[in-house]
Structure formats: C-alpha cells, structure tokens
C-alpha cells in the first residue's frame, strides 16, 4: 500500500521548559488469571497478534516505541506487528479500512472528519498533549494572540489538525478567523520565510519548531502551544481501533488500550527511557538532551492518558471547537458525535 511498509521493530519558550522528568517509576501491574492453589505462577503462554500502523518519526508518538522497548505489549499478552507510515492520514486509514491494520495512534483532530463520515473505527484512549507550536516573529510586532489580526501564518498543510486547533484557539480568544491569512510553505523554509517577511508566524511540530526557535537568536518565539495553558488540558493524540477489532476481539482491544496508556504514563515518569526509545527513529542530528527537552514538552499525565468518560470529555472539547469553526457539519451534534465515536473497552 502506498506510504506504508512493514517493519518488525519496528513550550512555552524553549529556554524555559520544565526540567526533564526524573527517574523510572515501576510499571503498572498487569493482571493475569490466578493460578490454582500450590501451582506454579501463572504465565502468559499465548500472545494475541495485532497489527499497528503508525508514523514512527513523530516524536510525540514516543509512547508506542516505549511500549515496545519496555515490553508493555508482551506484559499485556500481545504480539504486535508494526506497519510504518508517513504523516499522511489517508494511507493509515486505508490500512484500517482494508483490514491490513487493527489500530493506530495519531492526532485526534485528524480522526474527526472520517469518524463523522461513518469510518468504522472508535477512539479508546487519549495519550498526551503538546504536539503543536505556533511560532511567531518578534520583528512582525507580535506579542500576543490578538496581535495576529491581519497577519500571515505559514502552514505546510492547510488541512492540518494544527490549523484546526489554532483556529479554535484564536477564535475563542477573540481573534476573527477572517482577519488571518494562512499561507502554504514547506516546513523547512518557515524560518527563512519569516526572516524575509513573507509570513509573520507559522505552525509546526518538533523537531522543526524546536530548532527554528533555537537557531533564530531570539527572533522567533513560541506564541502558543498545546503543551501549556488551556490547550494542555486536552489530549491531542489518541488511540483509534478498527470497529472489527472491537466487535470481534474486545479483550485484545482492551489489552492494547491498557498497554498504550501505561506506556504514556511511563513516558511522563521516565524521560530517559523515552529518549532511549525515541533515538531509534529520530533525526540523527538530535542530541539525547534535545530529545529529552522536546519530549518533556509533551505532557503525559493521568489527566491525559485516559479512557472512558475522561476520554469523552477530551473528544467533546475538540468536537465543540470544530463545530464552532465550521469543520463539522451544521447538523452534527458534538455530544452525540462524541458518544458515537468513543468506546470504553476497559469497562466490564
């Protein structure tokens, strides 16, 4: 399939990011059936096979690599085969639709329109926040969100969930969306375009955003990010499982959901373990301490790595925002939509 290949292994200012998280806490216990009295300890002798498709270069998806590296899939009775994909959501959704994959993790906002259209999949967990950065130029006279009125914002993909999220954030902060011009540029030239005055700000992810700010000598700064402030209270990435997996292999769906929420919490507790995992997939020029700083900017907490009712609150927040900005259809009710596209596979 185009864009996918099999594999066995497979802020705000950056200078003021919170200190790297310390130490490794113990892994959460995994329940196995009790052994008969006086018998040997119960062991998982058969693992359930599952196929997971993901964009391995996305640093914010480090929890998946951590789950693999730290054995959390195995501890939950799973044998996971990975399909590697690029950042485009289309081949990922195709893999799920064609039965080539059972699950994926990506930006929640990427899933909303396909789910609204009836895509046969459900969200089972949130994982973390902190993926997106709105970087502004000081030379453009920008100091607050309101200063973006009449400004030009660079974006690599005008259908990006970053654009969706920041449009919601800007509108809720009193910035009319028709006062902003979004201009499409390749992400690797954002800093150059800002220096030339062709754009006044841009939205991007790490490591591009991280290095653009660091190398700008103070000319660029993070104006807004969903790793701090109000936006940090809502998960930006989550776990999407195929409808078939949930209907036919619900215990496996539950095991995968449990493994990845455990992995997300481990990322939040043990920054060095997350860095060790990220080094397998990250750009070679990224130093371990830089990876650690970037990962520490993505909140992985008990308030974000959630399932059930807590997950529904996160999804509803995004659905309401998309309704406000006209992304969801006029007839879509955010509350009913949220109930339809989420499922608590860990319940009962």
Chosen domain end from 225, 258, 278: 225
Q: Do 153 and 272 belong to one domain?
A: no
Contact between 48 and 78 under an 8 Å Cβ cutoff? The reply is yes
Query: Of 209, 225, 241, which residue constitutes the final position of a domain?
Result: 225
The pTM for the full model equals: 0.85
Residue 260 lies in a domain: yes
Residue 145, classed as helix, strand or coil, is: helix
* Final residue belonging to a domain, choices 195, 225, 255: 225
Q: What is the pLDDT along the chain (348 residues), one digit of tens a residue?
A: 334 443 433 343 333 333 333 333 333 333 333 333 333 333 345 789 999 999 988 899 999 999 999 999 999 999 999 998 887 899 999 999 999 999 999 999 999 999 999 999 999 999 999 999 999 999 999 999 999 999 999 999 998 999 999 999 999 999 999 999 999 999 999 999 999 999 999 999 999 999 999 999 999 999 999 999 999 999 999 999 999 999 999 999 999 999 999 999 999 999 999 999 998 877 667 899 999 999 999 999 999 999 999 999 999 999 999 999 999 999 999 999 999 999 999 996
- Would 346 be classed as within a structural domain? no
In this structure, are 194 and 307 located in the same domain? no
Same domain for 75 and 21?
yes
Residue 176 lies in a domain: yes
Number of domains in the chain: 2
Contact 241, 54 (CB under 8 A): no
Clarify whether residues 108 and 208 are in a common domain: no
Task: Say which CATH number the domain at 168 has.
Answer: 3.40.190.10
How many other CB atoms are found less than 10 A from the CB of residue 143?
Answer: 11
Domain of 195? Answer: 133-225
Same structural domain, 207 and 296: no
**220-225 sheet: strands from edge to edge:** 181-184, 152-155, 201-204, 133-137, 220-225
- Residues 217, 241 share a domain: no
DSSP single-letter state for residue 148: G
Cα 348 to Cα 227, 230, 256, distances in angstroms: 33, 33, 16
237 with 218, same domain: the answer is no
Pair 123, 239 in one domain: yes
| 11 and 105 inside one domain | yes
Residues 8 and 68 in one domain: yes
- Kindly list the distances between the CA atom of residue 321 and the CA atoms of 15, 170, 344, in Å, as whole numbers in the listed order: 31, 11, 23
109 part of a folded domain: yes
Domain match, 237 and 124 both:
yes
Identify whether residues 94 and 168 lie together within a single domain: no
């Amino acid at each position: 399939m185009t864009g996918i290949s099999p594999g066995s292994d497979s802020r705000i200012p950056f200078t003021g990011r919170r200190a790297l998280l310390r130490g490794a806490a113990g892994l959460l216990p995994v329940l196995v059936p009790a052994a008969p009295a006086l018998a040997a300890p119960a062991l998982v002798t058969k693992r359930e096979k599952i196929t997971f498709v993901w964009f391995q270069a996305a640093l914010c998806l480090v929890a998946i690599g951590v789950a693999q590296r730290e054995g959390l899939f195995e501890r939950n009775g799973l044998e996971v085969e990975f399909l590697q994909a690029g950042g485009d959501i289309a081949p990922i959704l195709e893999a799920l639709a064609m039965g080539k994959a059972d699950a994926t993790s990506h930006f929640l906002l990427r899933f909303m329109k396909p789910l609204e259209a009836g895509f046969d999949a459900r969200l089972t967990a949130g994982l973390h926040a902190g993926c997106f950065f709105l970087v502004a130029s000081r030379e453009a006279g920008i100091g607050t969100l309101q200063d973006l009125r009449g400004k030009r914002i660079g974006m690599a993909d005008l259908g990006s969930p970053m654009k969706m999220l920041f449009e919601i954030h800007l509108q809720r902060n009193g910035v009319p969306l028709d006062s902003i011009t979004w201009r499409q540029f390749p992400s690797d030239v954002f800093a150059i375009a800002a220096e030339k005055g062709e754009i006044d700000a841009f939205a991007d992810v790490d490591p591009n955003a991280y290095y653009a700010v660091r190398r700008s000598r103070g000319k660029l700064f993070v104006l807004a990010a969903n790793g701090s402030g109000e936006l940090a209270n809502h998960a930006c990435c989550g776990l999407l499982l195929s409808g078939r997996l949930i209907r036919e292999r619900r215990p496996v769906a539950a095991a995968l959901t449990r493994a990845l929420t455990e992995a997300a919490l481990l990322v939040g507790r043990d920054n060095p373990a997350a860095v060790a995992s990220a080094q397998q997939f990250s750009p070679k020029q990224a130093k371990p301490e830089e990876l650690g700083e970037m990962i520490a900017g993505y909140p992985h907490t008990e308030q974000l790595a959630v399932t059930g009712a807590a997950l529904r609150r996160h999804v509803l927040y995004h659905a309401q925002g998309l309704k406000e900005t006209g992304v969801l259809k006029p007839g879509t009710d955010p509350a009913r939509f949220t109930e339809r596209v989420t499922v608590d596979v860990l319940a009962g």
